[in-house]
Amino acid sequence: MARLYQQTCLLIMEHSVKKALLLCFLLCAIYEGFFFTDKGNVAFHVSADDHIPNHVWEIEPEKKGIASIILDIASESCQGIDKTHYLQQLDEICESIKTSVGKNKTPEYIISTINAILFDTFGFKYTQKGDIEYIFLNKVLDNKIGNCVGLSLLYLCIAENLQLPVYGVSVPEHMFVRYDDGSYKINIETGYNGLSIPDRYYINVPGKAISEKSIVNGYYLKNLTVDEVLASVYLNRSLVQKQKGNLKDALHDVNKAMALRDTDAVAFCDRGVLHEKLGNNELAIADYNRAVDLNPDYASTYYNRGSYHAKMENIDTAIMDYNKAISLDPGSKLAYYNRGIAFYLIGQIESTIHDLSMVITFDPAYAPAYAARGLAYAESNEPEKALNDFNKALELDPGNVDIYMKRSILHADAMRYEEAIQDITTFIESVPENAFAYYIRAKAYRGSGRFRESLEDFNKMIALKPMLAGVYYERALVKKILGMPSEAISDLNTSIELFPYNPLAYLHRANTHRDLACKEKALKDYVTYLKLNPEAPDADEVMENIKNLKR
């Protein structure tokens, strides 16, 4: 396989096959969302911050009407919302809580009662999914299921109705609520049916850690204002829009989120991805850099910025960012995957294989890692390992036709021409406009002695890519075998016009001119061949031809 790639790069000259094949592997995927996806060690989630209890009930909230505001935002995505209906549902839940609480107004009892009624009596459930239906209050009330944002919003609406000092709290990619009356403070994790989890847990979540600087500056783990809570709603809707491909709408929402809260590294990272997808490269890198400033311990920013640098072909810089992402999130398969691809692009094949093997350790069913590692094994002249990886990749993802192309090259390089033809034909059936695929099949047909089919494929490739010198050279060789010397010379002329520094083109044109008894033209081409390739292994034979032509 390595041999065929080397030949291809030489013959096509200005076309970089390695880059063309490898760029398709690069990913730029933002974190999976703002939804709590890492539950960590449940045994660790057992304590709350220690504060002296204070008996309270009638607490004036910071701002009223959050339920109405949230339903207004939801109505932008869900038409025809009956706000009165949902506000009445909230009132019913709150009445149940008041009845159950009775005269025991201690914070601990109030919170445990709210949790019991929400998660046991009414049966609200947590999900990690990030669809709109799990975020907006109306959908959460309808379906009794929500993600961390949806359930936290529900909790805040109930607390406001009951005039309790409960606030939203944001950490990277997650939201929960906190009871805080100034004397007694306790975190309430809606992802665990209201379980109390201490601040220290959120600080050290792998990949989503919070730097000391971010905490000191109040960027995370503080009690949010109502506007800052609403920022989380817009940010999550932005993520949903991005996943649906509505990039401009997603950008509009993340801008709204940042107008309400401009200290969230996650929002800057998300907007950086959107700017990048929309082609706003300068704005993208500015947002990634700002995200690093806000929280230098957030792994996704380094991953996404690394992918940006890789796309811009700043491979060394990309690797530095991937290194940082991996140090912050050692279990990130995508960071290892992209770093492995980056290593491949700069020729560090051993490092490529190491990183892709790590990906496979994390996720043995991740087909792209097998496909990319197969390519690396082929490059390092380990064809059996390469073939095993390509086979495994197709077993896991039989619809990935790109792997058929890669495997066909491996077969062709091992002179398994029929297998190569079968694989590349499968690829062509799905991607009929890929010029390079016809080149691979033309070479395989020629290797198997099927010269007519080879000529047809060279013709198809030239129709798609008419300016590649090496392809005219290759087609000329086939035409000569088929007894078409004049047509072969025509192709060699074109090849030399496009790239006048390929000595083999002059050699074959000289031989063809000699066979056609065009002695002067043959002599001139032999001389040019030796000038371009003075150390040629056949130099003595060419000199003998020159002597014979001069007689």
Domain segments of the chain: what residues?
A: 42-243, 466-551
Residue 53 has pLDDT above 70, yes or no: no
The answer to whether 42-243 and 466-551 have equal CATH topology is: no
105 band by pLDDT with thresholds 50, 70 and 90: confident
pTM here is 0.80
Q: pLDDT value at position 26?
A: 45
For the domain 466-551, what is the CATH superfamily, name and number?
Tetratricopeptide repeat domain (1.25.40.10)
Please check whether the domain covering 42-243 is classified as CATH 3.10.620.
yes
- Mean of all residue pLDDT scores within the chain: 89
Residue 466 has pLDDT above 70, yes or no: yes
Residue 215 has pLDDT above 70, yes or no: yes
79 band by pLDDT with thresholds 50, 70 and 90: confident
CA distances from 542 to 290, 314, 415, 520 (A): 64, 45, 30, 15
Query: What digits encode the pLDDT tens for the residues 227-263?
Result: 999 999 999 999 999 999 999 999 999 999 999 999 9
Contact 30, 273 (CB under 8 A): yes
Contact 17, 406 (CB under 8 A): no
505 band by pLDDT with thresholds 50, 70 and 90: very high
Q: Stretch 350-363: mean pLDDT, rounded?
A: 98
Q: pLDDT value at position 435?
A: 96
Range in 46-55, 437-446, 485-494, 502-511 the model is least confident about: 46-55
Using alpha carbons, select from 418, 3, 446 the residue that is nearest to residue 458: 446
Using alpha carbons, select from 159, 175, 148 the residue that is nearest to residue 66: 159
Residue 322 neighbours by CB under 8 Å, 6+ apart: 302, 303, 306, 335, 338, 339, 342
Contact 477, 508 (CB under 8 A): yes
Q: What's the token pair of residue 137?
A: 């209050």
Residue 357 has pLDDT above 70, yes or no: yes
Residue 33 has pLDDT above 70, yes or no: no
Q: pLDDT value at position 551?
A: 81
Residue 485 has pLDDT above 80, yes or no: yes
Residue 520 has pLDDT above 50, yes or no: yes
